[in-house]
Homo-oligomer: A and B are copies of this chain.
Amino acid sequence: MQKNPNPCYYPDYLKLNMVLGSQEPLSGKYGEEAHDETLFIIVHQVYELWFKQILHEMGVVLNVFGQDYISESDLGSCLSKTYRVKSIQKVLIDQLNIIETMTPQAFLDFRDYLVPASGFQSVQFRELEIRLGLKTDNRVAYDNKSFHNRLSAEHQEYLINVEKQPALIDLLANWLERLPFVDFGGFKFWEQYQTAVWKMLDSDSEIIKNNPTLNHEEIKLQLKELDLTRASFESLFDDEKYNERFPNHVLSRKAMLSALFIKLYSWYPLLDIPARFLTSLMDIDELLANWRHNHALMVQRMIGTKIGTGGSAGHTYLKATTHSNRVFTDLFNISTFLVPTSALPKLPEEVIKNLQFQRM
């Protein structure tokens, strides 16, 4: 570790002259300065700083998952990175409370100067979505159309390049497919698992039929829904059915089986970190959805049914993205396939040995 020959000075180290010199309200330039524009600028700058940090963390995760083999140490390190990302996301949501101290009226005092700027032009946020794995096909249509032409040529090019690189969801799929949990040689794990699941679904069916609070029509409706769950399950063992049941799936059937196995037996030491990692990705997806939701309400409160500064449909559009722009929905679907611990097939000793630390 080489020494730093210069005494380090806090304001210089943080380049505060640049960071704190980057707030230039347009209202002050063209008229009376609107007090709240500074807040508007700073809150967005803070968002961008955190986006940079999230990308910094996800970069490590993407690197690790780009490798052919992922060691337990590396996976543990990735887990820590996702925990950090989550802690940042929580602050991103909390920050919305700060913006909400600005009244819609106060926003109007500088809103017109910002036209046609828009949050859609946050290159880092778009990059994050792409790197996580948001597919163009899954994006809400309106945004998709104008995704690129709102950006400068340089920024468009940058994002097009990002889109060419593998996304986390794809690398995760590859990793899950490589894991050896689909075939256990002589041990017919998945057959035994099927038996357990059929039992559980039959029980669910009884639950519905005997629910005294439901009328005939409702029972019919719900049994129909149960059939969908049954179909989901059947699809786990048939590629064609899988594609049909989950037309928007990103994880392949094989990857899903691995993820499912990890979740089913997560108490075995070898599966502890992988299970926590999958959960952490779901957390990230959920926090992103929470952020989108809260952000949409904040915009509704700010502009009502007006159009956004970028000419977007504003609140209505943002509301629509909350549930559609999800990345790890497949992981949430795993819960559909879980069975109670007591109903789980017992693993043979040999399999168990491989899931534990061995004392030499």
* A8-B116 contact, Cβ under 8 Å, with A45-B19, A98-B87, A358-B358: yes
Which of A72-80, A159-167, A185-193 makes up part of the contact surface? A72-80
| A37: min CB distance to chain B, Å | 10
A178 contacts the other chain (Cβ, under 8 Å)? Answer: no
Chain A 306-344 interface 0/1 with B at a Cβ cutoff of 8 Å (1 = within):
110111010000010011000000001111111111110
Chain A 55-77 interface 0/1 with B at a Cβ cutoff of 8 Å (1 = within):
01000100000000000110011
A140 contacts the other chain (Cβ, under 8 Å)? Answer: no
Is the Cβ of B104 less than 8 Å from the Cβ of A335?
yes
| A134: min CB distance to chain B, Å | 17
Contact of A103 among B73, B98, B266, B342 (CB under 8 A): B266
A84 contacts the other chain (Cβ, under 8 Å)? Answer: yes
Contact of A26 among B8, B22, B94, B306 (CB under 8 A): B8
Within residues 281 to 301 of chain A, which ones have a CB less than 8 A from any CB in chain B?
A: 282-283, 286, 289-290, 293-294, 297, 300-301
State the CA gap A48–B340 with chains docked (Å). Answer: 28
Within residues 137 to 185 of chain A, which ones have a CB less than 8 A from any CB in chain B?
A: 145-146, 149-150, 152, 155
A-B contact list, 10 entries, CB within 8 Å: A10-B44, A10-B120, A11-B121, A13-B114, A15-B22, A20-B124, A94-B94, A115-B207, A150-B213, A282-B301
Specify how many copies of this chain sit in the oligomer: 4
State the CA gap A197–B357 with chains docked (Å). Answer: 31
When C-beta atoms are compared, the residue in chain B nearest to A85 turns out to be B101
Is the Cβ of B4 less than 8 Å from the Cβ of A14?
no
Which of A224-232, A236-244, A247-255 makes up part of the contact surface? A224-232
| A184: min CB distance to chain B, Å | 14
B residues within 8 A CB of A13?
Answer: 26, 41, 114, 117
* A272-B113 contact, Cβ under 8 Å, with A16-B48, A42-B50, A305-B333: no
The tally of residues in A whose CB lies under 8 Å from a CB in B reads 150
When C-beta atoms are compared, the residue in chain B nearest to A343 turns out to be B1
| A53: min CB distance to chain B, Å | 5
A347 contacts the other chain (Cβ, under 8 Å)? Answer: no
Is the Cβ of B53 less than 8 Å from the Cβ of A38?
yes
| A173: min CB distance to chain B, Å | 18
State the CA gap A222–B297 with chains docked (Å). Answer: 21
| A123: min CB distance to chain B, Å | 6
Given contacts A10-B120, A73-B269, 17 further A-B contacts (CB under 8 A): A1-B112, A8-B117, A11-B123, A13-B41, A23-B52, A72-B357, A100-B283, A105-B263, A105-B338, A208-B307, A222-B313, A228-B305, A293-B322, A306-B335, A319-B323, A357-B357, A358-B358
Contact of A73 among B21, B80, B268, B334 (CB under 8 A): B268
A90 contacts the other chain (Cβ, under 8 Å)? Answer: yes
State the CA gap A119–B72 with chains docked (Å). Answer: 37
Within residues 17 to 59 of chain A, which ones have a CB less than 8 A from any CB in chain B?
A: 18-24, 26, 29-32, 35, 38-39, 41-42, 44-46, 48-50, 52-53, 56
Is the Cβ of B22 less than 8 Å from the Cβ of A14?
yes
A212 contacts the other chain (Cβ, under 8 Å)? Answer: yes
The 5 closest A-B pairs by CB, nearest first: A304-B336, A304-B335, A10-B121, A15-B22, A72-B269
| A60: min CB distance to chain B, Å | 7
